Amino acid sequence: MARPVGAITRGTTGFNRLRRCDRWIVAVRGRALRAADRPLVVDLGYGASHTTTLELFTRLRVVAPGVEVVGIEIDPARVALAKPYEREGLSFTRGGFELPVSRPPALVRAFNVLRQYGEAEAWHYWDVLRGKLAPGGLLVEGTSSENGRRAIWVGLSPQGPETITFSARFDAFERPSDLADRLPKTLIHRNVPGERIHAFLRDFDHAWAVSALYGPHGARQRWLATVRALAGSWPVATRPPLGGPARWRLGELTLPWPAIDPR
């Protein structure tokens, strides 16, 4: 086997760390995966434990019984530890950004993988991974806190980045800009005055502040009011499957990528 492309991550993971993203994937891509012929999903860089890959497999099988999930890790020791958990439709293999799989995947999830790379490298690997997708496929690249209570991810088609989603438990922040430490590597160093992501987070905080009167009714109601206020000046997704009250009630907000694209 050729040397895998990439570097070994810290490998930290845990139960339900990626539940927020998995829930979004099921809502946004479940129908397409169910309709596809032999859909392949790749979990790239799953870490020191098989846990989050198994959780993704279990959740996807509910909505797309024919889906196949492959967990990919550079570290051969991590692959060996995961092998006993293989089953029909779920496997683990050694590899990296080259994606050593038998056919183009319908979906690639790469979480907490690009944090260790520079910004230019992150843009490069976005291009590499989306170039390996099946037609109409999706790359979901993001970062979460270790307990999974804060997360941000980008949805990329073969043509490029399309959406960015902010997601958090209502007790996991004091103001929305606290999520800034979960920004993808392509944005995290752009959170400075003059950049669109900085302006968005500033306006997000302002909308949260002026929605404080909803606080007595609970943080969820305050979040809903915040998102509605923000939608007056930013192109927040307001219709399913990306937006609307059903998504917002989960502590989510999705924007089209061009709204904050730094290039």
Q: How far apart are CA 159 and CA 137, in angstroms?
A: 10
Q: What's residue 115's pLDDT?
A: 92
pLDDT digits 0-9 by tens, 110-158: 999 999 999 999 999 999 999 999 999 999 999 999 999 999 999 999 9
Least confident range of 4-8, 28-32, 196-200, 207-211: 4-8
For the full predicted model, state whether its pTM sits above 0.75: yes
Average pLDDT over residues 240-259: 98
Give 212-225 pLDDT, tens digit per residue: 999 999 999 999 99
pLDDT for position 208: 98
CA distance 175 to 204: 8
- The pLDDT, as a whole number, for residue 148 is 95
| 246 CB burial (10 A radius; 0-12, 13-18, 19+) | exposed
What lies within 8 Å, CB to CB, of 250 at 6+ separation is: 20, 23, 167
Rounded Cα distance between 210 and 205, Å, is 9
Q: Which two tokens stand for residue 260?
A: 């904050």
| DSSP classification of residue 212 | G
Question: What is the average pLDDT across 173-191?
Answer: 97
pLDDT interval class at 1 (50, 70, 90): low
- Under the banding of pLDDT at 50, 70 and 90, the label for residue 46 is very high
Q: Are 251 and 21 spatial neighbours (Cβ–Cβ below 8 Å)?
A: no
Q: Give ∠ CA 150-152-157 in degrees, rounded to 5.
A: 155
Domain 19-257 grouped into CATH 3.40.50.10420: no
Residue 126 confidence (pLDDT): 98
Report the SS3 class of residue 185: coil
119 CB-near residues (< 8 Å, 6+ apart): 185, 186, 189
Model pLDDT, residue 206 = 98
pLDDT given at position 26:
98
Look at the block and give the residue holding tokens 């305050």: 222
Q: What is the pLDDT of residue 14?
A: 85
Q: Where are the domains of the chain?
A: 19-257
| Residue count of the chain | 263
For residue 9, give the nearest of 112, 128, 108 by alpha carbon: 112
Per-residue pLDDT, averaged over 187-197, amounts to 97
Taking only the tens place, the pLDDT of each residue in 8-31 is 888 788 889 999 999 999 999 999
HSE-CB for 178 with a 13 A CA cutoff? 14
pLDDT at residue 86, rounded to an integer: 98
